[in-house]
Structure 1
């Protein structure tokens, strides 16, 4: 397979448009030929604007639906969750703790029933190793500093600490709620807009009742300048070769349920603003208070 083969035709079209503009500018061909690149790029920009309007309309529907999901949970709030982004609710909002579901752990021939609990601590309680050493039940640092870029003089050191707990040997309170984050497929992709959405569901474990559901994510639209992509793939189910032509999608889009990050959205880069977190829509719907740099 040739490098970047599917976009060669699109790049060739851009090159041909450039050649037409240069030749028309130097009067090597009639300036009437300028109509071709004007129609190509003007039409592409019109498609971009159409895609933006579609994405904005879908995002507005989701925002209205999210706003109608507002509840007020009991505090201190604690929950079970088993995914990386679930911890962001704990990072950015005043939550007591988060823990995993119960699981088996074997150590030295002995089988334990354990949960992994994560909470936010401050001050000297953050002086912990970043890796577990000899004791598998010892706490360790997951995030050494919350609000790392905050410069306020009264800022407190806050950190994220995780610990595996033997539930058979340690009396402990069970979380009141559970939080799940799943891919959302209610908004199918089109030629103009590609959704990347997730549904957050909070359930009251005592009544086993869903108390709120919100959707967050991004709608990616066609870029302002269109590039044609042509490619073929072998369908092993048939088997047969299938070829197609489409427009290259864009990297910028419309965010819903949270503000768009300005650092490219790298998942392992901590940001202080809770409104940029994927968990923001759920935290807001649950009536939780955002953490601040001066929390203890």
Structure 2
């Protein structure tokens, strides 16, 4: 596919005068372009929902969520993966971000890495990819060889595959089971897909990981009840979560958390069911960590 023919690479007629604008006019123009991102993502919500359900199914079957991309797309995947353990209390390695060129490419571009489909396949082999995993390929252009190679290998193994691109009918969309293609139009700065395209990808990733974790039992109501209290801020947040969930005072919530090792779920279950800490943990284990199900269990 000719790169110049892509929507994401074409010139935007509304920003041809960027260098002649006042600073306020310039940032206003950027903002006007950004307003189109949410609308473009909205059109892809049925496919996003399919990806959420597929990601949750992978987790429930013992698999992992694996993002892969190059450049900005790769960095966004690594960012989303890195935020899952502290937010949802999942182990490192359950959600993985791969970037063409490896970790060093997070800070400095690794020339040519994205041009190798073999490298995409190799990176997945190094993770001991299994059919229970889900592989989500990210490429604003939709044509990155590294991602195409990875998705093809993943499908060969029987994995569910997802493609996130900002160009319609892209090559990565054609090699994935689920194609999410928010078409945000030409960038304000021609070809700079870290702008609208990057924002669109970030919005989609937010929904996939958060939605999958909701379906995986890591959320109750709209509270992150599996948050890990690993620093002062998160200890405070955990106390406030228990307070919000139960109506207890901050001090009473903290007293319960001290009995559970600062795990919010069993503390909430203790407050709302009258169970002690060991019994609350056993009840949660019986229901695979789903707090709502544990609360509904009246046995």
TM-score by length of 1: 0.28
Structure with the bigger RCO (C-alpha within 8 Å, sep 6+) is: 1
TM-score by length of 2: 0.28
- The structure with the largest strand share of the pair is 1
- The structure with the largest helix share of the pair is 2
